[in-house]
Amino acid sequence: MTASLADALSAIRKHAPDFVPKYGIILGSGLSSIAEQLTNPITIPYQAIPGLTTGGVAGHASLLMLGHLNGIPVVCLKGRVHLYEGTPYESLRILVRIVKALGAHTVIITCAAGSLREEVGPGELMLINDHINFHPGNPLVGPNDESIGPRFMSLEEAYDPALSQTMLDVADELKIPLAEGVYISTLGPSFETPAEIRAYRIWGADAVGMSVVPEVIVARHCGLHVVCVAAITNLAAGMGSHEQITHAGTLHHGEIAARKLVKLIPAFIKTVGVELAT
């Protein structure tokens, strides 16, 4: 455990000395309503936690929340840090590793994303089953702390197959359409060009966004299981829609998708909890 991670954990323990979450949840743009379901929440601003930075993007509140969702203890990251804001990788590493250090075994990652598939439009959900890292870097570059994870690690099953299947099963039971696909992560903050989207489709991408992948890499490095659901907020550039892609649109359609996620994620957590207990 690095000194910075220890300092961050110490600051959190001052507010919640005995709280041990089973799951972490990272909330993307327009998806903060999920956090409103937590019972008896303990809320800590990122700025009160050493090593973390506060983002300035609308739709990201920069709050760490501890509470219960469907009776299961969780740590909810209400707002993520974005590399396009100039945030250092260290802040992102600490944010994800906090989830593991608090005691969680799984992180549920949500995000807003553009769809590269015409049949999966705004307001729909997509289960991410693999990714393409098109960021200019990797969050594990630099000295490696063997107490956290190995120098070299496999990402062959970065998105846990069993948990992903459970998410699909729960969505089916709730009659919530849930597509599957590959997520390509770009740095941003500019949206993609039509030419880039055509290239990404050739590569096999189904959704595009500006987050997720660095978090998944850090999560898998420290031993967290990962399941990820994207809220589709738009069809990607050049795919037939004449509506200009904007962050306001991202938030709007993210809220529509969030109405499905607020049913899906609590039901998923409850289902997995029952399966682990049997």
DSSP 153-213: ---TT-S-HHHHHHHHHHHHHTT--EEEEEEEE---SSPPPHHHHHHHHHHT-SEEESSSH
Domain residue extents for the chain? 3-277
- What per-residue confidence (pLDDT) applies to 278? 43
Instruction: Identify the segments of the chain with pLDDT beneath 70.
Output: 1-3, 29-30, 55-60, 240-253, 274-278
Compute the CA torsion angle 161, 220, 121, 265 (nearest 10 deg). Answer: 70
- What per-residue confidence (pLDDT) applies to 274? 64
Which residues are within 8 A (CB) of 119 and not within 5 positions of it... i.e. 6 or more apart?
A: 179
Other CB atoms within 10 A of residue 205 CB: 22
Give the separation between CA 216 and CA 130, rounded to whole angstroms. 10
Q: What is the pLDDT of residues 188-232, one digit of tens each?
A: 999 999 999 999 999 999 999 999 999 999 999 999 999 999 999
Give the separation between CA 272 and CA 278, rounded to whole angstroms. 10
Homologous superfamily (CATH) of 3-277 is Nucleoside phosphorylase domain (3.40.50.1580)
Q: What is the pLDDT of residues 121-153, one digit of tens each?
A: 999 999 999 999 999 999 999 999 999 999 999
Catalytic center residues: 29, 60, 82, 84-85, 112, 210-211, 234, 247
- What per-residue confidence (pLDDT) applies to 135? 92
pTM tops 0.75: yes
- What per-residue confidence (pLDDT) applies to 56? 56
- What per-residue confidence (pLDDT) applies to 82? 87
**What are the residues facing 24 on neighbouring strands?**
75, 107
Helix, strand, coil share (%) of the chain residues, nearest 5: 35, 25, 40
Please tell me whether residue 150 adopts helix, strand or coil conformation: coil
Nearest to 78 by CA among 56, 94, 61: 61
- What per-residue confidence (pLDDT) applies to 1? 47
The β-bridge relationship of strands 125-133 and 207-209 is unpaired
Q: Where do we find the tokens 């490696």? A: 144
- What per-residue confidence (pLDDT) applies to 202? 98
Task: Label residue 37 exposed, middle or buried (CB < 10 Å: 0-12, 13-18, 19+).
Answer: middle
